[in-house]
Structure 1
């Protein structure tokens, strides 16, 4: 086999592997939406029993069960009957578990459904508004980030900057959470620091509606409020401004950082968490950077261009770029905070 043939076959196999992963993700989304995983947790069921328990068609039930078992997601018992192993339930069902990725299929579905609009945007140079990506993507993003906010935000990230942690613990203090999405970061902050108040701001009205429900369900609505608004607008005084995986989606990040700086009280800080990527473009890229680029092409860049074209950076936000924006916004010595993480890098601006 020649080098050219080997390279050709390698790419063909890679695309086939990618197709397998994509369609299996969508079968996981079927299981999530129809409650099939819930019905199989701790309970072995045949196809007929699963169909009766969940109200789906028996023939479809059998096909899905066999496919899930063939993929290694379900355990098979005599009958045949099928169960969801508890270690898999943590990943597929437990939204608060550190390993939860149960909405990965929902994430993929949201991107796929909007691809025709992205195709059109590529031809015209226009954007695709964030709201047009809909429920699937909005919830996919929130569910992907929520475990990090629950397990790491207040237990690891902020304690790595002792004076910020001390300010929030000693309180009273006010936090401004820009690009708050469905509000999981705002709620996590309020639950960990009982003497603070938090105001979340996001452009997406549907996200803010759900964020208010998130705060109410967590019992912190008396200290957490949410506003539909532009992150680059005027904000009240804040002892801490947080921006988690949102700065790269903002059309004018320098204006956002300038607004955050203007909102800070004396001694206050801006704390940013954004993508962990290489400082310069290079190929081949690491796997996570490849993932970020794919999301950038299909979601982040089109959504940003719908807001404006001042920057339109896309998902791949490199450290020198962010630090440059911070200096342009008036922060004299922005810094990268040494917090080990697999997918995010952290910055402190003051």
Structure 2
């Protein structure tokens, strides 16, 4: 790219970043929820949400200029009505939709908020603990993955037909390593009523929220959670299936995690891994998925992993060859890439030797 093109890109990126932050503001203040019941002008939005009318006017105009809201023609800026289109409502407010991304702006903002600590870690070589990223990151990751778990997890397990048969007929047991706020464990239990699921995660706040979510879904009799290291989960087997979804790349010692998973498998059991769908090898420039995953890696995943005293520092860009090398080092007899369609993840089946 020429210097002029790079400058143009920086300006476009700045616009996108500020628009993302304005969207995060709208989510945080409940402005989209207020608009979901019908069009509002600036004073109407201010009355409904408790914000100042002048701020309401500016935010509404900015959102319409960015294309997220529609605006009725009116020369009086305070009488101009703004509406939330159905597709935008689905994307920002419908937490069950596979298109839901309402937590993504807050996740991005949380990475910006922690940037001074990340910069300090780059100088010292230390890490930034996962908990330091706060609820924006925790809820962002959980909220973005939740619809996919509920829509797809049964199909993912179906790619392992022998394991699907076990979970369907029961009684069966599943261990979910790196379960976060618990949505993968809950989705597994709902998809397979004959199975019990135990989720493990190192983050105390995530585990506490996971337990609340299981209670809200009436699943405490079949879904349990514990705060523990996935390399030493303290979860005696046998388990018919051990899962880890979008978590292996964050683990300080992934080989130890896979080894512990193998040790608790029931005879004929298997490990199911879902992780980032990155290229087979590094190329530059990268495509959108490479750029997305390197973005998360630079700002979050690598610093958070280094904070755990990592034996291995994969970063978010976990390539297939690396997964295969982990499986071999953990003494698995097979590591098979599964034919599961997914926009962001690649799936693997690991079988003991």
User: What interval of TM-score do these two structures reach, taking the shorter chain for normalisation?
Assistant: over 0.9
Contact 1:235 1:259 survives alignment (8 Å):
no
Q: Tell me by how many angstroms 1:173 deviates.
A: 0.5
Give distance in 2, aligned partners of 1:334 and 1:211.
Answer: 30
Aligned partner of 2:76 in structure 1 is: none
Q: After the TM superposition, which of the residue ranges 72-81 and 34-43 deviates more from structure 2?
A: 72-81
1:254 maps to 2:249: no
Contact 2:200 2:230 survives alignment (8 Å):
yes
Q: Tell me by how many angstroms 1:332 deviates.
A: 1.2
Q: CA RMSD in A?
A: 1.0
Contact 1:173 1:197 survives alignment (8 Å):
yes
Give distance in 1, aligned partners of 2:204 and 2:266.
Answer: 28
- Which of the numbers 42, 60, 67 marks the counterpart of 1:47? 42
Q: Tell me by how many angstroms 1:160 deviates.
A: 2.0
Contact 2:199 2:224 survives alignment (8 Å):
yes
Q: Tell me by how many angstroms 1:77 deviates.
A: 2.1
Q: How does 1:301-340 map to 2 (within 5 A)?
A: 301-340=302-341
Q: Tell me by how many angstroms 1:236 deviates.
A: 1.5
Give distance in 1, aligned partners of 2:126 and 2:91.
Answer: 37
Contact 2:110 2:137 survives alignment (8 Å):
yes
Count of aligned positions: 344
Give distance in 2, aligned partners of 1:208 and 1:236.
Answer: 19
Give distance in 1, aligned partners of 2:246 and 2:349.
Answer: 14
Moved over 2 A (4+): none
SS in 2 for 1:200: strand
Give distance in 1, aligned partners of 2:200 and 2:310.
Answer: 21
Q: Tell me by how many angstroms 1:127 deviates.
A: 0.7
Give distance in 2, aligned partners of 1:135 and 1:51.
Answer: 26
Q: Tell me by how many angstroms 1:218 deviates.
A: 1.2
Q: Tell me by how many angstroms 1:42 deviates.
A: 3.7
Q: How does 1:76-155 map to 2 (within 5 A)?
A: 76-78=71-73, 79-154=79-154
Q: Tell me by how many angstroms 1:10 deviates.
A: 1.2
1:217 maps to 2:247: no
Give distance in 1, aligned partners of 2:334 and 2:270.
Answer: 12
Q: After the TM superposition, which of the residue ranges 6-15 and 334-343 deviates more from structure 2?
A: 6-15
Aligned partner of 1:240 in structure 2 is: 241
Q: Structure 2 stretches of 5 or more lacking a match?
A: 74-78
- Can you list the C-alpha shifts for 1:234-259, whole angstroms capped at 9, x where unaligned? 43111100000000000100000000
Give distance in 2, aligned partners of 1:299 and 1:182.
Answer: 17
Q: After the TM superposition, which of the residue ranges 257-266 and 303-312 deviates more from structure 2?
A: 303-312
1:64 maps to 2:59: yes
1:73 maps to 2:68: yes
Q: Structure 1 stretches of 5 or more lacking a match?
A: 1-5
Give distance in 1, aligned partners of 2:12 and 2:344.
Answer: 23
Aligned partner of 2:291 in structure 1 is: 290
Aligned partner of 1:23 in structure 2 is: 18
Aligned partner of 1:190 in structure 2 is: 189
Q: Tell me by how many angstroms 1:13 deviates.
A: 1.2
